[in-house]
Amino acid sequence: MCAEFSPRPALLHERAPAKVNLTLRVLGRRVDGYHDLSSVVAFAGAGDRLALAPGGGLGLGLEGPGAATLAGDADNLVIRAARELAARVPGLALGRFTLLKRLPVAAGLGGGSADAAAALRLLARANALRADDPRLFEAALATGSDVPACLDGRACLMQGRGEALTPLELPRFGAVLVNPGVAVPTANVFRALSLAPGTWRGHASPVPAGAARDALLDWLAAEPNDLEPPARALAPVLGAVEAALRATTGAHLVRMSGSGATMFALYDDCRAAAAAAKRIAGAHPAWWVKPTVLG
């Protein structure tokens, strides 16, 4: 007699890439309190990783350098996203997640949003949901404004609260991400803009579709991150981060991502980015400094 073969369900893996806002215009504040945005969003090679062992109850374990800064509890965006999807998909099979947390937390890189999006993609795979199932998008938006963009994971123009996404073809850049270790809560930065609900401030300049690298860089230089002035007021160390990035060879654009406090610079290629990162890390050993690709 032979026992029936019942293999353990395979562990599924997803990358959770850092999100970088190359531009971020705050166009106004809606009556629901959220701000209307227009932002060119790119994704980095650097990021977290999430695994799912399908089957059983919902759970989350944390590993990696950022594991000590977070709890794998109901507040974790991985668990929140899974619950949002379970509320929309009757009988959704769940499982135990393991998060390799490498990105700094509350850093403007959308790390939590990337993890939540990776959780939704893993659950979609485990439950044979189509990638374009609208319940995935709905669960993403219910989890956070950045999660829909992270769910798709490709460069885009993000508008509205974060729900209107237009794919963009961007050239690939080398990049360095620098976080000085100061957590800046997103809500505090938006609040510091002091925009009353119902306020409208105007339009963003249209993205030059298919622009060559230099033309795109010129356009990016003229379209700021409107959250940078309030974030600088909350985290004055951003001045030192900017100076360190500007002092590197070949930095094309030096800017803050999202609500901060991570700043980035763009370079022609990975080699220039790696050299710049080495220089900054040597001078500022307490900062998180990551060379990567962006596109």
Ligand X SMILES: Nc1ncnc2c1ncn2[C@@H]1O[C@H](COP(=O)(O)OP(=O)(O)OP(=O)(O)O)[C@@H](O)[C@H]1O
Ligand Y SMILES: C[C@](O)(CO)[C@H](O)COP(=O)(O)OP(=O)(O)OC[C@H]1O[C@@H](n2ccc(N)nc2=O)[C@H](O)[C@@H]1O
From 36, 48, 146, 152, active-site residue: 146
The binder of ligand Y chosen from 68, 128, 187, 209 (CB under 6 A)? 187
Q: Residue 39: which of ligand X, ligand Y, none does it interact with, CB under 5 to 8 A by kind?
A: ligand Y
The binder of ligand Y chosen from 48, 84, 146, 226 (CB under 6 A)? 146
Nearer to ligand X, 54 or 104 (CB): 104
Q: Residue 187: which of ligand X, ligand Y, none does it interact with, CB under 5 to 8 A by kind?
A: ligand Y
- The phi and psi torsions of 232 (rounded to 5 degrees) equal -65, -35
The binder of ligand Y chosen from 35, 49, 232, 255 (CB under 6 A)? 35
Residue showing the smallest CB distance to ligand X in the complex: 112
Closest distance between ligand Y and the C-beta of residue 80, in Å? 10
The binder of ligand Y chosen from 80, 101, 161, 255 (CB under 6 A)? 161
Rounded CA-CA distance 272/286 in Å is 22
Q: Which residues are annotated as a binding site for ATP?
A: 104-114
Q: Which residues are annotated as a binding site?
A: 104-114
Task: Sort strands 59-63 and 95-100 into parallel, antiparallel or unpaired.
Answer: parallel
CB 45 within 8 A of CB 293: yes
Nearer to ligand Y, 6 or 194 (CB): 194
Please report the beta strands in the chain, taking only residues with DSSP state E, as ranges in sequence order.
Answer: 12-21, 25-29, 35-54, 59-63, 95-100, 156-160, 164-167, 173-179, 253-256, 263-267, 288-294
Rounded CA-CA distance 140/150 in Å is 9
- The verdict on whether 214 is a catalytic residue reads no
Q: Residue 35: which of ligand Y, ligand X, none does it interact with, CB under 5 to 8 A by kind?
A: ligand Y
Nearer to ligand Y, 227 or 289 (CB): 227
Kindly report each contact of residues 220-225 with a partner whose C-beta sits within 8 Å and lies 24 or more positions away, as own/partner: 220/22, 220/23, 220/40, 220/253, 221/253, 223/23, 223/25, 223/40, 224/23, 224/24, 224/25, 224/255, 225/21, 225/23, 225/24, 225/255, 225/256, 225/257, 225/258
Stretch that binds ligand Y, among 60-68, 92-100, 143-151, 213-221 (CB under 6 A): 143-151
DSSP-based three-state secondary structure for 179: strand
Stretch that binds ligand Y, among 169-177, 182-190, 201-209, 236-244 (CB under 6 A): 182-190
- For 28, residues 6+ apart whose C-beta sits below 8 A from its C-beta are 35, 36, 195, 199, 200, 201, 202
Footprint of ligand X on this chain (CB under 6 A)? 70, 75-78, 105-113, 115, 146, 186, 258-259
From 19, 36, 101, 152, active-site residue: 19
Please report the beta strands in 206-270, taking only residues with DSSP state E, as ranges in sequence order.
Answer: 253-256, 263-267
Nearer to ligand X, 110 or 180 (CB): 110
Question: Hey, which residues are catalytic here?
Answer: 19, 146
Give me the residues that bind ligand Y (CB under 6 A), please.
21, 24, 33-35, 37, 39, 110, 113, 144-146, 161-162, 186-187, 190, 258-259
